[in-house]
Structure 1
Amino acid sequence: MKIAIVSYSFTGNNDKFAASLASELPATHIRITTQKPFAMKSIVLDMIFSRTPKVHPHPDSLQQYDLILFVAPVWMGNVASPVRAYLHALQSKRQAYGLLSISGGADGENPKLMAELLKRTGASPAIVLDQHIKDYITLDSPPTRQDTSAYKISDTDAVRLSENAIKEIKKLIAPV
């Protein structure tokens, strides 16, 4: 099975997670880049107006893969806007896909994430694993958005995230 790990990361955390995951699986790691650099204002406007930025590589470059695993943050309860072009492309391709994420989590779970993935692709994901930075921070009080936004995952964190993800991925790709 040919697997692509397609990552977008604003802070570097999801790219580190994706690189660790790709090294543990027989998978190709593809990094998404945006045509213009992102700022927090762009992120908020993309989420409010459901905008999709121009990205590289082109989503059609993923046709050769049997399973596409997106590794990207969740912003305001939705998948990061640079991933949207790829999700839209899946509507006509009907490839198996999943979303793996490490995002803040200071505001709790992301209950509308599954519905958004289904709406954008027309198909249910094979896997969704939404892991949170708040679970990696040890503070005397619950972490805030500021705390989780500033946190950079360590190599050890990336391995732990990958191990959690690989347990779930192996259920998908194990021979029947």
Structure 2
Amino acid sequence: MKTLIVYYSYTHNNEVLANVLQEKLKCDIFKIEEVKKRNAFAIMLDLVFNRIPKIKPRLFDVGSYDRYIFVAPIWAGKIASPLKTFLVEERFYISDYSFITICGGQTDQKEKLVTNLTKILGHEPSLVQELSINNLLSGDKKNTMKYTSSYRIQSDDMIKFNVAIDDFLRGGKASDARERKAG
């Protein structure tokens, strides 16, 4: 199965994640780059007006892959708009796909992500996984936008996510079993 990792990263947190995935899978990787440099104000405008920014063209055949892993941040409960642009432009080629993110980890966000991805691509993802920055923060810094949004992932931080990443790459079987046992 030929896999492509497609990622967008504003703060480089999700770039670190994409590179870890690529190293584990030894597959192709593609970084989404915008035509214009992004800032926090542009992010807000994208969210308020549901804009999708222009991204640089791809110089390869997106349709030549069997499986796609998308990696991007979550902005106000929504997939980062540069990834949304890619998904809209390439939706007819994308069949088997999963999504993973390093994010603040808001409650009930995963269901919204599944709904959002399904709306864009016309079918549900195989798996959606959130790796919460809150798991890297200490006591009073947890669940605080100031700290979750300003946190910058280091390669060493990824060790704390190894089990979740490996589970994601196996298709979420271990987490499904844990959820059934807990329920």
Structure 1 length-normalised TM? 0.87
State the match for 1:32 in structure 2. Answer: 32
Residue 136 of structure 1 pairs with residue 141 of structure 2: no
State the match for 1:115 in structure 2. Answer: 115
Q: Does structure 1 retain, via aligned residues, the 8 Å contact 2:62–2:90?
A: no
One-letter code of the match for 1:81? Answer: S
Q: Does structure 2 retain, via aligned residues, the 8 Å contact 1:59–1:89?
A: no
Q: Does structure 1 retain, via aligned residues, the 8 Å contact 2:142–2:148?
A: no
Aligned alpha-carbon RMSD (Å): 2.0
One-letter code of the match for 2:107? Answer: G
One-letter code of the match for 1:132? Answer: S
Aligned residue runs from structure 1 range 142-157, under 5 A: 142-157=142-157
State the match for 2:164 in structure 1. Answer: 164
Cα deviations across residues 126-169 of structure 1 (Å, max 9, x unaligned)?
Answer: 11102211111113353411101111112122244354223222
Aligned residue runs from structure 1 range 93-108, under 5 A: 93-105=93-105, 107-108=106-107
State the match for 2:68 in structure 1. Answer: 68
State the match for 1:92 in structure 2. Answer: 92
Give the Cα–Cα distance (whole angstroms) in 2 for the partners of residues 159 and 6 of structure 1.
Answer: 22
> Which structure 1 residue ranges, 4+ long, deviate > 6 Å from structure 2?
none
Question: Cα–Cα, structure 1 residues 156 and 119, in superposed 2: closer, same or farther, change >3 Å?
Answer: same
* Count, aligned residues: 171
Give the Cα–Cα distance (whole angstroms) in 2 for the partners of residues 164 and 19 of structure 1.
Answer: 15
State the match for 1:49 in structure 2. Answer: 49
Q: Give the SS at the match of 1:112.
A: helix
Per-residue deviation, 1:39:
0.6
One-letter code of the match for 1:108? Answer: T
Give the Cα–Cα distance (whole angstroms) in 1 for the partners of residues 80 and 118 of structure 2.
Answer: 15
Which runs of 5 or more structure 1 residues have no equivalent in the other structure?
Answer: none
One-letter code of the match for 1:122? Answer: G
From the two aligned structures, give the one with the greater helix fraction.
Answer: 2
State the match for 1:79 in structure 2. Answer: 79
Per-residue deviation, 1:54:
1.0
Higher relative contact order (CA 8 A, sep 6+): 1
Which runs of 5 or more structure 2 residues have no equivalent in the other structure?
Answer: 173-183
Structure 2 length-normalised TM? 0.84
One-letter code of the match for 2:78? Answer: N
Question: Cα–Cα, structure 1 residues 73 and 141, in superposed 2: closer, same or farther, change >3 Å?
Answer: closer
Per-residue deviation, 1:59:
8.9
Give the Cα–Cα distance (whole angstroms) in 2 for the partners of residues 169 and 27 of structure 1.
Answer: 12
Give the Cα–Cα distance (whole angstroms) in 2 for the partners of residues 54 and 118 of structure 1.
Answer: 22
One-letter code of the match for 1:124? Answer: E
